[in-house]
Structure 1
């Protein structure tokens, strides 16, 4: 009997490919947005996991950071924004993720992220790490630099979305000179 003869049997649905892109996103930058948009095209679902960040003093609250990411990604229905704390591999297991997406801007980022990817593979070998580089003109942008520039009254409009820029203006207030 031909294995292809019985077309009435439905083929099992392929597993959804879910990836996680985590960070503090304090604030989300155009570099982050670029990585998210491209990763969203590679997977059925992308979860942007906004870290509670006990180890860092963030400028924005967790709720504000989640809201900024959600607003920035509202045009991408395959992107979900969720808070997370703890081990990333536990979060991946909980959400059925097959991959972690990491944005890398330079060699220093790569060295750190390669070490993290190796450790994550020890914790959960079934989850792959995918590295994406933001567009060249966005590679110099970091949340830390954006916060500092905004704090000193500089123009961050080429580094973050208009909504995030407005939030930064509110958060930093007028600069005293």
Structure 2
């Protein structure tokens, strides 16, 4: 190819257009900044999700422990009042001679609250209060059972302790 042929080829292509130069430095920096903000947002959401997951795990385990004793109370509905005053931070005070089922339920529930299922639930405590409710004339023998579970929960990677509580209420009537 001669020199004239090369010059002819360059002239046919014409001068470069302004829009044909590719990315400029400023466009690349803006794209990088947008990407960085997006990645920071994603990492922040991941940390928050982990924290909520820890809370949900604790709440699920405590609710399972609470429903265990509530199911036992419903099963022994004729002797509901015997469960009044249960506090897992002290020994069971239910008379084992007159109320063997309620005493056994209390002992088993206390053991469950100190088992490996309740691990990492610092200061877990369960309290049961039973009060007679409903009309007295005619007597319906309904009892309101209030179950309170308290513990010190943790959240996130830094393990910040904070008090937590759930309360279950149920009306129990004899069959």
Relative to the length of structure 1, the TM-score reads 0.29
TM-score (norm 2): 0.29
Q: Which has the higher contact order (CA 8 A, sep 6+)?
A: 1
Higher gyration radius (CA): 2
